[in-house]
Structure 1
Amino acid sequence: MSKTVTVATAAQLSAAAKVAKAGDTILLAPGNYGDVNLSNLNPAGNITIKSADPDNDAVFRTLRMTRSNNVTLQDFDVHRPLNPGESSNGAAVQVNGGKNVTFIGMDISGSMNGSALDDGHGMSISTGSHISILNSTFTQLRTALIVRGDNFLFAGNSVTEVQEGLSISSMTKGVFAQNYMADWQANYAAGAHPDMFQVHSGGTAVASSDLIFRDNVLLPGDGPVGGFFISSQAVGRGERHENILVENNYYEGAYRHAITVANADDVIVRDNTVLMGDHKGLVPAINLNDIRGGLIENNVSTLMLEHRTLKNSDMVFSNNIDVWDSQFKKGVAVADLFAPANNGDLDFSDLDVIGTSAAAQSGAGFRAVAEIGALSGTAAAQAAAWLPTYDQNFNVFA
């Protein structure tokens, strides 16, 4: 029979987790637990570790998990301001290996002093399988998330005031959906060229496949910040990404790489909106370089570019709307496509094209969906709604 225990220290938590059995719940009394290690956990079924009082979250400084399986971590904070002289290369949360690990309702942050420039990484996940992050916040961090592995889910999260967003490599089957990304604080003085989502194959990484980026809102704020930058640095040794879907996302900024997909086979880019932000910087674009097999349809964008030397093949373009831009003096006027900006709190439905516009009538551009950046319902309901969706999502590539 499952049981519930309450702990108040890192030592008590570690001891309780080691003996927990499938169905057990460990409640975290309010307080600061410092540095926590939850490695080598292997219950026969899922165990849950969560704050006892959701209105008074337990706080960790760091969390380490190595070769741990079947764990749900819920509703607590990991707050890691760097100590004097401490390296910024480490992450507040590190997951190495393991399977069926789910984070729900987490708050992961750095110094919270108003600047991300003196902070370390948020999460680092390597070689895991079926790792999920739902309904969580990432604030004031060097990089929100560094991840590789397979069957990965990142949905309904908010990422704000960070230097870099998600660094993704060597991944098979990943879903990135309904996330809100805003207000970047990049270290431009050090030569940064930040991205919100980056898929790469640098270093020892290999190419990725079966990746879905859907229903995300990207509002980088001041400065040049890329939206989706998907490229293979190892294409020279045959590493090409495969089965990439970028669908129904909204980007408003001032950087050429709003949506860039390169060195990839079987690519779908559709129903996205790409607009110029503060008109200071480069006109943003959908960039397609060295694509073999692609469907590019129903996008509303200031620019759509193909590389002059990195040629594409077997591409189909359909019903893409060219938005007016101040640099090239062409396209459909923004006022004909979008309602005036609302100065109040952001309503994602305001990002839709006007219903009477030609773009709306033809089905082009981003359409708001519910629960971008914050999922509703209980943690159990969120898990039930999202965790089974991996294989369903990938039917698009069948």
Structure 2
Amino acid sequence: MLKVRSKFVVVIAAAVGGPLLIACNDAQTKPAPAAQEVAEAPKAKTVTVKTTQELFTALMTARGGDTYLLAPGQYSALGLRGAKYGGSGVTIKSADPKNRVTMAGIELADCSGLSFEDIEVTINQRTQTALNVNACSGVRLSSLDVHGPPGAQNGGLLFRNSTNVIVNDTDFHDLGTAVRNVDSNYVTISGSRFRDIRGDGVQTTGTSNITITGNHFTDFHTAPGDHPDAIQFFTVNQKAEVHDIMITDNVIVRGKGDITQGIFMGNEADLAYVDVTISGNKVVGAMWNGIAIGKGRNLSITNNIVQGYVDQSSWIMAEGAVNAVISNNRSTDYVDKDNKSAKFKDNKRLKLGKVGDVSALELPPLPQEN
């Protein structure tokens, strides 16, 4: 029978919207005693709770397969360390998806087997970020509404050193950078919506086996000196190449906001992005770099649409790519198309669109040519 070890630290839940104190194993605090190993129950249970403290107490004896329903209301921040569940994991969600609870931040460290669904998550006053996920595995975030106050510059979701993380069908808005993932593995960000962002929509460094698919980005609001991207990868302070990157079927449109770059993969440390697929994306009204990758190996850029506006052209660029296929795209411009290490074929040019024109989003895929 599968056994699950659950370890927690002491949590002091503050007033709604206030800071959360997490007693962790460092020089200033003492760790709480570990819970005894418990076998996964043959029958999962569903429990309704009304406060963060009730939820935390209930999770002390949770087993894989259990579901915790949050009664409507305002919840203080939740912090968990060492909460590990086997089987199908533990699900925490609003009891009524049409009347979602509001939780003032979520912090997870060294946790596994946790799903959060149908929750409005606001800024944790302690971390100034809505969600922090560190050294975790098997975490799923679905149908969340993640935001700060109007015009906020706080972070939305930060996860680092984590594996098997799924973000699905989630709204990110009124944030600085919506999602930051650092030094992680097997990450999926799908079917989510990004608006009213000041910085980057999805920012990635040091992460392999990542899929970013079916998301919508629009209405970014920047300040002078900002360098915003809907989807950004960078290699600053990295020592190794990342690999297996899928960026597909995303829509990036200027909307009523400021101009941003589309999909930008910078190469500050002279490290290649390896085994990269960029396909089916639609980028309308972006900056110069509609789709740009600084250094790619085993790269496929296919069936994308990149249309600049009359006030700003936009292009597809794969500078210095090795073993690359760039085909069946529509774009107002192409850079490095004479690269002998890239197969450049069946691409079409688009005229610059009028500011605000989104008709390019409706263009059908180009037919494949032999």
The residue type paired with residue 36 of structure 1 is L
Determine the structure 2 residue equivalent to 1:169: 205
Q: For 1:49 and 1:215, how far apart are their aligned partners in 2?
A: 29
- The match for 1:303 is 333
Match of 2:161 in 1: 127
Q: Does the 8 Å CA contact 1:24/1:47 hold for their aligned counterparts?
A: yes
The residue aligned with 1:352 is 362
Q: Percentage identity across aligned positions? A: 23
- Residue of structure 1 equivalent to 2:254: 220
Letter of the structure 1 residue corresponding to residue 99 of structure 2? N
Aligned to 1:382: none
TM-score (normalised: structure 2): 0.82
Give, in whole Å, the separation in 1 of the partners of 2:211 and 2:333. 26
Structure 2 Cα separation of the partners of residues 162 and 137 of structure 1: 11
Inter-partner Cα distance in structure 2 for 1:353 and 1:56: 38
Indicate yes or no: 2:90 matched with 1:52. no
Structure 1: 5+ residue runs without aligned partners?
326-333, 343-349, 365-398
Q: State how far apart, in whole Å, the 2-side matches of 1:32 and 1:106 are.
A: 15
Closer/same/farther in 2, CA of residues 21 and 254 from structure 1, 3 Å limit: closer
Aligned to 1:156: 191
Q: Identify the match of residue 193 of structure 1 among 227, 246, 267.
A: 227
1:208 Cα offset (Å): 1.9
Q: CA deviation at 1:165?
A: 0.9
TM-score, normalised by the number of residues in structure 1: 0.76
Matched, 1:80 2:123: yes
Offset at residue 54 of structure 1 (A): 0.9
Task: Sort the Cα spacing of 1:275 and 1:5 in 2 relative to 1 into closer, same or farther, 3 A.
Answer: same
Q: Which runs of 5+ in 2 are unaligned?
A: 1-42
Q: Which residue of 1 aligns with 2:215?
A: 179
Q: 1:68 aligns with which of 111, 114, 127?
A: 111
SS in 2 for 1:13: helix
Deviation by residue 1:114-154 (Cα, 9 ceiling, x = unmatched): x2xx3300000001110000111001100000002111000
Contact 1:270-1:297 within 8 A present in 2 as well = yes
Q: CA deviation at 1:224?
A: 2.7
Q: 304, 307, 313: which is aligned to 1:283?
A: 313
Distance 1:63 1:141 in 2: 16
In 1, the alpha carbon distance for the partners of 2:340 and 2:204 equals 25
In the alignment, the residues of structure 2 paired with residue 3 and residue 223 of structure 1 have an alpha-carbon distance, to the nearest angstrom, of 48
User: 1:198 deviation in Å?
Assistant: 0.5
Large movers: runs of 4+ above 6 Å: none
3-state SS of 1:80 partner: coil
Q: Residues 169 and 205 of structure 1 are in contact (CA less than 8 Å); yes or no, is this contact kept in structure 2?
A: no
Alignment-mate amino acid for residue 228 of structure 1: I
Shift in Å at residue 64 of structure 1? 0.1
Q: Secondary structure at the match of 1:16?
A: helix
How far, CA to CA, are the matches of 1:203 and 1:312 in structure 2? 28
Change (3 A) 1:231 1:50: same
Query: Aligned residue for 1:320?
Result: 347
User: Hey, what does 2:52 align to over in structure 1?
Assistant: 10
Residue type of the partner of 2:132?
Q
Report the 3-state secondary structure (helix = DSSP H, G, I; strand = E; otherwise coil) of the residue aligned with 1:212.
strand
Alpha carbons of structure 1 residues 100 and 253: separation in structure 2 relative to 1, 3 Å? same
Q: Is the 8 A contact 1:200 1:231 kept in 2?
A: yes
Give 1:232's aligned amino acid.
N
Distance 1:159 1:205 in 2: 30
- Which whole-Å CA distance do the structure 2 matches of 1:185 and 1:205 have between them? 33
Higher mean displacement: 123-132 or 31-40: 31-40
More helix per residue? 1
Higher relative contact order (CA 8 A, sep 6+): 1
Which of 232, 248, 266 is matched with 1:231 structurally?
A: 266
Residue 264 (structure 1) aligned to one of 283, 296, 314: 296
Aligned-partner residue type, residue 174 of structure 1: I
- Please, what is the CA RMSD of the aligned residues? 2.2
How far apart, CA to CA, are the structure 1 residues paired with 2:54 and 2:124? 24
After superposition, the Cα gap between the structure-2 partners of 1:197 and 1:39, relative to the gap in structure 1 and judged at 3 Å, is same
Residue matched to 2:143: 105
The question of whether the paired residues in 2 share the 8 Å contact of 1:270 and 1:298 is answered with yes
In 2, Cα distance between the equivalents of 1:30 and 1:176? 32
- Answering whether residue 172 of structure 2 is matched by residue 138 of structure 1, we say yes
Q: CA deviation at 1:81?
A: 8.3
* Equivalent-residue separation in structure 1 for 2:137 and 2:68 (angstroms): 19
Given the superposition, is the C-alpha separation of residues 134 and 266 from structure 1 closer, same or farther in structure 2, using an over 3 Å criterion? same
